[in-house]
């Protein structure tokens, strides 16, 4: 269950970033855990997501079977559908499965003019070398 509260700076264009560097879900084929570093950026509208509810929501994926694409895009779309931000993007930087790292990105549309959107700062997977 995600909780939302009124935006204390409604009408102001600003960016909120949540990072979940130890996100886990389950592979729908093998049932083994998958690990990712998620970065969620959004420009609030009338509401903001309450951070503890987001933490618990993301933690619930430890028992959820889903492909990287479904999990990443699904989280972004749910937040967007329920919170109705001015703009939202999510980056899912997944650690290798079967030797192939998979990075998944989704955004609700173009960022509003004038919004400062810094790089998500997560390096691509380099393995040992």
Q: Is 65 noted as a catalytic residue in this protein?
A: no
The residue annotated as part of the active site, out of 3, 27, 70, 103, is: 27
Architecture of domain 4-107: 2-Layer Sandwich (3.30)
Positive or negative: CA dihedral 32, 38, 43, 44: positive
**Backbone dihedral angles phi then psi of residue 127, each to the nearest 5 degrees:** 65, -140
Which of these, 82, 78, 89, 77, lies nearest to 115 by C-alpha position? 89
Collect the ranges in the chain with pLDDT lower than 70: 128-129
Residue 129 confidence (pLDDT): 57
Q: Is 27 noted as a catalytic residue in this protein?
A: yes
Residue 124 confidence (pLDDT): 80
């Amino acid at each position: 269950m995600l909780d939302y509260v009124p935006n204390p700076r409604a009408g102001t264009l600003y960016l909120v970033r949540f990072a979940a560097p130890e996100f886990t879900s389950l592979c729908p084929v093998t049932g083994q855990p998958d690990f990712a570093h998620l970065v969620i950026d959004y420009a609030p509208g009338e509401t903001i997501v309450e951070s503890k509810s987001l933490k618990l929501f993301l933690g619930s994926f430890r028992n959820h079977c889903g492909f990287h694409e479904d999990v990443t895009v699904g989280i972004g779309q749910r937040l967007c559908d329920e919170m109705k931000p001015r703009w939202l993007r999510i980056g899912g930087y997944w650690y290798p499965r079967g030797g192939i790292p998979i990075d998944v990105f989704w955004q609700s549309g173009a960022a509003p003019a004038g919004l400062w959107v810094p790089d998500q700062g997560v390096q691509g997977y380099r393995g040992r070398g």
